[in-house]
Chain A
């Protein structure tokens, strides 16, 4: 079976030569990292735990400033948090004193976000809530939401900003199997419709195979990209996962190698 990469589109997100070392730390966390993501593309990042996957995502989100290298979006250099780069964490981080709807709208009117009129803001919030299928629960408080609903809300909060880049840090890690599968399909649909360039951190090879257009393997200390596999199977892949046997084995072998070195 041959893997043909997606038709190369100009990347929306580009990281080149990114390195990060925390002040005072003996060793760097990341070094010489290159990464491109095209609009509507899902790139998964796998790697041993503690390798720096989340750190990479935080750098891409502008939450950490790299010591070297350059991150750009549509050719504009990113050196801080950008309104069109949205990040969701494993913890949905909902504010317990706001309704679901207000949580989705949270931050849209902040000073460094794009200027929007009240009506435009509301229509974006409505669209984001509809996209994750939570219209019926919009007035509920976070404490009354299930884990899956909370994570959908967090995703909607990202979507309300109409991001060009969507960064997801193990967003489905804490969910049960069924909810997880639902969320995966939801994510695929949303990325297909809205076409953000998406980087997904996961520790689950099957999730990566299920969702990604490309899989990156992060390894070493300091971490760099040690392997890269395009996955060009059609969606939905629920029944096609078996066909990924060869590449799955290869990724697993590389992952095991990365863990032991």
Chain B
């Protein structure tokens, strides 16, 4: 579950400043080129290969970008974005509140781990969306079932990474705590939690990715705001350029959220290096 850590390592770490900068610029440049290539493929598919189809034209990059501009300037979209972001934050907060304590217990006790791991692995592999009917039956229509589903989706990476962090705690730190007569709470607060923070952040980053992916379909069910709702709404209005604009926006916001999480991770580990 720590694969995310490797991804976030700046590629040029440890190299002299100039070389690192050149490598960084090259990376960013390649990334931008890749994005442009993607847009070109999109354009070729919708405008060149399917030229003459008015339906395809509505899905083309040009109209999509124009629609995105208009939507961003309008008053509706910011509300939907805010609603969606709030749901992600609530889901993440709930997942942290549940996942970190569970992970601490799981990592601290072989017994708990042996007893709980199969069940957790089983639950983890059930798509959160498959719980949707049950969530609606339990929590009714509205935000509550969405919070439930988002929490359910996001809790696993946080829990498993926290547990991995606890298992990798340096025994010497715990011995130090004992030699200073630390109480259980002091050990938890001053040694274990800071000691697993890096792992928790890795879990948070993975969770944010999952939250964002699960959010949109969740919002297609029984709510009247949010990005998922808005995508269905554009379909119902046959506003296909707006639909594509929303796909772009969802991707972009997800990218932004991941960058934020990555930045937080980087800041945290940088402190340890300097």
List residues of chain A with CB under 8 Å of any chain B CB.
61, 63, 80-83, 86-87, 89, 91, 93, 95-97, 106-107, 110-113, 141, 143-144
Say how far A173's CB is from chain B's closest CB, in angstroms: 14
Q: Which of B172, B175, B274 contacts A63 (CB 8 A)?
A: B175
With A86-B179, A97-B272, A113-B181 already in contact, 6 other A-B pairs whose C-beta atoms are closer than 8 Å: A91-B172, A93-B175, A97-B194, A111-B183, A141-B273, A144-B273
B191 within 8 A of A: yes
Could you say which residues of chain B place their CB within 8 Å of the CB of A106?
176, 180, 190
Instruction: Given the known inter-chain contacts A95-B191, A97-B194, A144-B274, please indicate yes or no for A110 contacting B181, CB distance below 8 A.
Output: yes
CA distance A143 to B180 in the complex (A): 22
Could you say which residues of chain B place their CB within 8 Å of the CB of A110?
180-183, 186
Could you say which residues of chain A place their CB within 8 Å of the CB of B26?
none
> In the complex, which residues 187-208 of chain B have their Cβ closer than 8 Å to any Cβ of chain A?
190-191, 194-195, 197
Across the interface, do B182 and A107 meet the contact criterion of CB distance under 8 Å?
Answer: yes
Could you say which residues of chain A place their CB within 8 Å of the CB of B272?
96-97, 141, 143
B178 within 8 A of A: yes
B173 within 8 A of A: yes
B13 within 8 A of A: no
B236 within 8 A of A: no
CA distance A111 to B187 in the complex (A): 11
User: Can you list 19 residue pairs at the A/B interface with Cβ under 8 Å?
Assistant: A63-B175, A63-B179, A89-B176, A91-B172, A93-B172, A93-B176, A95-B195, A106-B176, A107-B180, A110-B180, A110-B181, A111-B181, A111-B183, A112-B182, A113-B180, A113-B181, A143-B273, A144-B273, A144-B274
CA distance A141 to B173 in the complex (A): 16
CA distance A169 to B197 in the complex (A): 30
The number of chain B residues with a CB under 8 A from chain A is 22
Instruction: Given the known inter-chain contacts A89-B172, A93-B172, please indicate yes or no for A81 contacting B181, CB distance below 8 A.
Output: yes
Say how far A197's CB is from chain B's closest CB, in angstroms: 17
Could you say which residues of chain B place their CB within 8 Å of the CB of A87?
179
Which of A87, A107, A113 gathers most chain B CB within 10 Å? A107
CA distance A96 to B198 in the complex (A): 12
Could you say which residues of chain A place their CB within 8 Å of the CB of B183?
110-112
CA distance A251 to B237 in the complex (A): 94
Could you say which residues of chain A place their CB within 8 Å of the CB of B179?
61, 63, 81, 86-87
List residues of chain B with CB under 8 Å of any chain A CB.
170, 172-173, 175-183, 186, 190-191, 194-195, 197, 271-274
Could you say which residues of chain B place their CB within 8 Å of the CB of A113?
180-181
Across the interface, do A81 and B178 meet the contact criterion of CB distance under 8 Å?
Answer: yes
Q: Which residue of A has the minimal Cβ distance to B174?
A: A93
Say how far A154's CB is from chain B's closest CB, in angstroms: 9
Could you say which residues of chain A place their CB within 8 Å of the CB of B178?
63, 81
Across the interface, do B175 and A89 meet the contact criterion of CB distance under 8 Å?
Answer: yes
Instruction: Given the known inter-chain contacts A63-B175, A106-B190, A110-B186, please indicate yes or no for A97 contacting B271, CB distance below 8 A.
Output: yes
Could you say which residues of chain B place their CB within 8 Å of the CB of A91?
172
Could you say which residues of chain B place their CB within 8 Å of the CB of A144?
273-274
CA distance A86 to B191 in the complex (A): 18
Instruction: Given the known inter-chain contacts A95-B194, A97-B194, A110-B181, please indicate yes or no for A141 contacting B274, CB distance below 8 A.
Output: yes
CA distance A245 to B194 in the complex (A): 51
CA distance A220 to B40 in the complex (A): 80
CA distance A112 to B181 in the complex (A): 6
Q: Which residue of A has the minimal Cβ distance to B185?
A: A111
Q: Which residue of B has the minimal Cβ distance to A97?
A: B194
Could you say which residues of chain B place their CB within 8 Å of the CB of A83?
181
Could you say which residues of chain A place their CB within 8 Å of the CB of B172?
89, 91, 93
Q: Which 10 A-B pairs have the closest CB atoms?
A: A107-B180, A112-B181, A93-B172, A81-B181, A93-B176, A91-B172, A97-B194, A87-B179, A96-B272, A110-B186
Which of A82, A83, A86, A110 gathers most chain B CB within 10 Å? A110
Say how far B64's CB is from chain A's closest CB, in angstroms: 46
CA distance A107 to B175 in the complex (A): 13
